[in-house]
Structure 1
Amino acid sequence: MRPAAVSAIFLVSLILSACVASSGPQDIPAGPPSQETTNSISRSSGPVPSADVGHTTVAVKVSRQQEALVTTEPAPEPQAFFPTERTDDIPIPAEKPVALLMPANPAVAAAPQTRMQIYSRHFRDAKPINFGGSSPRKLAVHGVDVSRWQGEIDWEKLQAQGANFVYLKATDGGDHLDPMFQKNWRRAREAGLKRGAYHFFYWCRTAGEQADWFIRNVPREAGALPPVIDVEWNGESSCKRRPSREHVLEKMKVFMDRLEKYYGQRPIIYTSPDFYRDNLTGEFADYPFWLRSVAAHPSKVYPGRKWLFWQYSGSGLSHGVEGRIDLNAFHGSEEEWHNWVASRSN
């Protein structure tokens, strides 16, 4: 064989080897799970199952230096991102960005107007509280909220125990997706529960980044419950900033406006007593609230505040879930629940 031919073959071999060794998106290691925790649920001491997130977009981990940045200016307008479709596991960009396809008031197809069965409450509580005459047991419709820390869930058993609705942890900050969200979102629907998604707000990221991240990962589906913004102080977070009340309200409004425009539903505000006292007393009167109050009725902890959901326990026990779970109740009768759910589908 002539030397020139040998050199050519050797060069082609080097190029092919480099291509094979190149890392594709599937080879990028996933970043560590978020250090955020929500509500009163402790992290499981056992292994947390991984989840097949199917066709969702892969989250790209940002640097710690970026996480630590805090802006005092209003959040910038989001840049359009491109959803992807997969063919043989190779992401193919869509023809147009979502921002160009999304109308100002998105139309969502109406869900079937059939009334769901209401399951009676049969939860137990590891730390029961005597609420006296204002016991949450008197409320007709109960539900739960869950995240990756509840692990694998038997949704049919959980529903039979009294979970008529569920809020699922979806995202926090601007780059963390709960690894169980996609599976929980699908399985809860298959079991017949009304379900929605919540975002844990991270005070070291801009509101625009966080809204875009939530929209990127949470489907816009007919019949889904309104999205939730979870705002609270968390001492375990790597973000130690506590913005001023004015800045808190500004960031929340940017985030909520963007979600309302995309999902066509006004977001629900979830909060805890200390955060509410510091920032939300007398604010957002035209927004629905989901209040954490595990030692007394919300009327005592949040005087004068109208509320939609009450999180009355962080130590619930139920068949279908290992360990403890948050318990919640809807503020109204069965008839009011059905009417409210129907209004979400119009």
Structure 2
Amino acid sequence: MKFLNGLILAIALVAVAASCGRNPPRGGGPAVYVGGTVPQLGDRKPHVWRSGHPYGHQVHGIDISRYQGDIDWARVRNSGVSFAFIKATEGGDHSDPSFQRYWREAGAARIPRGAYHYYYFCRSGAEQAAWFIRNVPRERGALPPVLDLEWTNSRTCPRRPSSVEIKEQAEVFMRLLTQHYGQRPIIYTTVDFYADNQLGTMNAEFWLRSVADHPSARYPGQRWTFWQYTGTGIVPGISGDVDINAFAGSSADWARWLQARLSR
């Protein structure tokens, strides 16, 4: 418990330091810096926001997979990144070849990190849960696991199950991971998948993708914890584009959320 409390305090201090005295820029061309309260973060193709922008949020993080290549995690942490979600598994037999390395390196850099699973519609929720558990360690201080639910263009699995089946199998997956890791998974989803399957009826904490407008406009009435606002982010320590996400609350809210949601 002392370790967790110390980690949470250190994370909160980093987030507070990153948020001091910064405002989002005005005007500029498509490559203008848009980091807001976390000034080292940017966007190669910044969006012109209508209903509210992400740049004033105090806590930002990344989600990554093998396509990010080699990462300088010390630079990532020093840039103001407060968390990382790392792709671990897909379906019932695929694992990201960079997951184990990223997991170790992010942990060594003291960046809170969690693992996510890309859902496959031709395997049962139980099969996919077993595969995730086989590949992702149950580790003290980890973020909750994430279930990535979105439509795919898979050649090996072109089917689109009914909304009822999707939610039933997703609940099986989430229940098994809750039992194993002691934390209920977060659901990541996209605008079309959320609407097509009425995911708002699920008992879940949400991480929402919305790169063209504020989540309040794209997911009316839905509460969320994380907002993936760009796929063309610029983060020191990572070459090329990277997804960047905002946490819904303040730095103090982030510390409280970690206290409740870190694995023990």
Q: Taking structure 1 as reference, are residues 318 and 247 closer, same or farther at Cα in structure 2, changes over 3 Å only?
A: same
Q: Count how many residue pairs are aligned between Structure 1 and Structure 2.
A: 237
The answer to whether the 8 Å contact 2:50/2:213 transfers is: no
Question: Stretches of 4+ moved more than 3 A in 1?
Answer: none
Paired position in structure 1 for 2:156: 238
Paired position in structure 2 for 1:279: 197
Shift of 1:238: 2.6
Paired position in structure 2 for 1:216: 134
The answer as to 2:111 corresponding to 1:166 is no
Alignment partner of 1:309 out of 223, 226, 229: 226
Q: Taking structure 1 as reference, are residues 250 and 340 closer, same or farther at Cα in structure 2, changes over 3 Å only?
A: same
CA deviation map 1:260-298 (0-9, x unaligned): 1111101100000110111134311x3100000000000
Paired position in structure 2 for 1:328: 245
CA deviation map 1:25-58 (0-9, x unaligned): xxxxxxxxxxxxxxxxxxxxxxxxxxxxxxxxxx
Paired position in structure 1 for 2:256: 339
Distance in 2 (alpha carbons) for counterparts of 1:156 and 1:237: 38
Distance in 2 (alpha carbons) for counterparts of 1:195 and 1:167: 6
Distance in 1 (alpha carbons) for counterparts of 2:226 and 2:80: 15
Q: Secondary structure at the match of 2:201?
A: coil
Identity %: 49
Distance in 2 (alpha carbons) for counterparts of 1:130 and 1:197: 31
The answer to whether the 8 Å contact 2:146/2:188 transfers is: yes
Distance in 2 (alpha carbons) for counterparts of 1:307 and 1:335: 17
The answer for unaligned runs of 5 or more in structure 2 is 19-37
Paired position in structure 2 for 1:248: 166
Shift of 1:234: 1.3
Paired position in structure 2 for 1:295: 212
Q: Which amino acid aligns with 1:232?
A: E
Paired position in structure 1 for 2:179: 261
Q: Which amino acid aligns with 1:335?
A: A
CA deviation map 1:76-117 (0-9, x unaligned): xxxxxxxxxxxxxxxxxxxxxxxxxxxxxxxxx774301122
What is the RMSD computed on CA atoms of the aligned residues?
A: 1.5
Distance in 2 (alpha carbons) for counterparts of 1:230 and 1:281: 12
Paired position in structure 1 for 2:66: 148
Paired position in structure 2 for 1:30: none
The answer to whether the 8 Å contact 1:110/1:222 transfers is: no
The answer for unaligned runs of 5 or more in structure 1 is 1-108
